[in-house]
Amino acid sequence: MQRLDLRQLLSQKLSPQQIQFIKLLQIPTVELEARIKEEMEVNPALEEGREEPENEYSDSDSDDYDSDDDYGKDDVDINDYLNDDEISGYKMQGDRGGDDDDDREMPIAMSTSLTDNLMDQLGFLELDDKQYTIGMQLIGSIDSDGYIRRDLSSIANDLAFSQNVMTTEEEIEQVLHMIQTFDPAGIGARDLPECLLLQLERREQDETIRLAERIIKDSFEEFTKKHYQKIQSKFGVSEEELKKAIDVIIKLNPKPGGSGAGMTRVQYIIPDFILTNENGQLQLSLNSRNAPDLRISRSYADMFDAYDKSDKKDKKLKETVAFVKQKLDAAKWFIDAIRQRQNTLLRTMEAIIKYQHDFFLEGDESQLRPMILKDIAEEIGMDISTVSRVANSKAVQTEFGIYPLKYFFSEGIATDSGEDASSREVKHILKEIIDKENKRKPLSDEKIEKLLNDKGYNIARRTVAKYREQLNIPVARLRKEL
């Protein structure tokens, strides 16, 4: 049988305004402009620009709706909309600029794609229709790093099924050899050794180049593992001759596709904050280029005022008033969310500056203090999730470069003095130790651990290995040089 129970539940639900604020908070400045334009397209009551209200509007004299009408239960003052017609009270970079400066677009790097570059070079070859079709298929099979990883038999099948071109692997390889002569050097290789050999073939041939080719062809595995003594014994060369050949190989490009433009458009980073140092005083401002001033449409406000003072017994008129009120409310909520976003960004960044003040003054990584999301959340009196949304997608421009906010967050490591050192500071010192080591006898993780302990950092060997891997530094054996 069906049962009918009464239950009391206590739960938390986000309001539509809160959801809107969260979504606006987590997007970076570069995406905010598009979000604002999207809102303006769907809500005609929202406009861009600044304007002081000229007239006072009030609905105090208007009659109430009938008691059974939901639309008449809320009294609305037009001044609530008109007095909030602009976002002010925030110091923003570019507020002093004119209209021309506001309309200027951010720079975008334009370049030719790798595929277009290769297709242009293919057009200079004297090929028949079949060879040209094979060449197009090969170029389309080249990955972004410049390699062809598909088997020639698979490419032959693709040509047969998609292009109705019957060919053999020998014909495809013949065209491939032509493509491998294109720039950049090494393009169209099927593996790393072939890529390096293609680049060596273009060098002026001498004993060093020939030795480098022999190493790649016959001892590539020993080379990757840096077993240089085995290579030296195998080829019967001196240490100096081997060193010259190794120097040639390591200067070759392992990803030739990266030297061409893999992307047709590259958007530069747009910082959300601008931080300047004025005679030792740090000045923070928001980048307002992609956050235009917003206001309530005066025409919609006038329309609402006229409808509100008219006869409210007409059903269609009631629906019109409800629609206009809905758009006005949505516009006001959006402007409030933008204002709240700017306030939250400023409070969060100011707290970060307070924690990392010494770093922002000098730009020295060793001055970074340990700082976690909880520290900033407690400082500004907000939830950790709010700080996380700000830190994960925002950047600040300083005199030392542009940094993502999450760069300043790191765990603490105890020192002999009883203070906590930032993990980033430890990584910085670890990198300095490795940079200064004797490359003929690179330091092991155990020796690096001892050096760090001598400097007062209580760190374990496994932590040294973890930080070294995060810095993309190989183990001691792979750092060894002749």
What the block records as the tokens of 84 is 């909030």
Average pLDDT of the segment spanning 433-456: 88
pLDDT band at 419 (very low <50, low <70, confident <90, very high): low
Which pLDDT value is given to residue 71?
A: 38
Rounded Cα distance, 135 and 126, in Å: 12
Q: How far is CA 428 from CA 9, 63, 448, in A?
A: 52, 71, 13
Rounded Cα distance, 210 and 412, in Å: 52
Mean of pLDDT over the chain: 78
Extended strands (E) in 229-319: 265-267, 273-278, 281-287, 294-296
Contact 257, 195 (CB under 8 A): no
DSSP secondary structure, 19-76, as one string? HHHHHHHHS-HHHHHHHHHHHHHH-TTEEES-----S----TTSPPPPTT-GGGSS--
**Which of 168-182, 375-389, 403-417 has the weakest average pLDDT?**
403-417
Closest CA to 196 of 205, 206, 187: 187
What the block records as the tokens of 314 is 């007409």
Average pLDDT of the segment spanning 171-191: 91
Closest CA to 404 of 22, 21, 28: 28
Rounded Cα distance, 358 and 372, in Å: 17
Which pLDDT value is given to residue 421?
A: 65
Q: Is the pLDDT of residue 125 over 80?
A: yes
Average pLDDT of the segment spanning 186-210: 91
Contact 270, 18 (CB under 8 A): no
DSSP three-state, residue 79 = helix
What the block records as the tokens of 321 is 């008033």
Which pLDDT value is given to residue 103?
A: 39
Q: pLDDT tens digits, residue range 201-259?
A: 988 889 999 999 999 999 998 888 888 888 888 899 898 899 899 889 988 988 888 75
Average pLDDT of the segment spanning 371-383: 89
Which pLDDT value is given to residue 416?
A: 60
Amino acid at 359: F
**Which of 79-83, 241-245, 308-312 has the weakest average pLDDT?**
79-83
Rounded Cα distance, 371 and 351, in Å: 11
Q: pLDDT tens digits, residue range 9-35?
A: 777 676 776 777 788 887 877 788 888
**Which of 195-209, 234-248, 402-416, 424-438 has the weakest average pLDDT?**
402-416
DSSP secondary structure, 180-243, as one string? TTSSSTTTTBSSHHHHHHHHHTTSPP-HHHHHHHHHHHH-HHHHHTT-HHHHHHHHT--HHHHH
Extended strands (E) in 244-357: 265-267, 273-278, 281-287, 294-296
DSSP secondary structure code for residue 2 in this structure = -
**Which of 178-187, 344-353, 360-369, 410-419 has the weakest average pLDDT?**
410-419
Q: How far is CA 162 from CA 155, 158, 329, 468, in A?
A: 10, 6, 56, 48
Which pLDDT value is given to residue 292?
A: 66
Contact 402, 396 (CB under 8 A): yes
pLDDT band at 265 (very low <50, low <70, confident <90, very high): very low
Which pLDDT value is given to residue 195?
A: 92
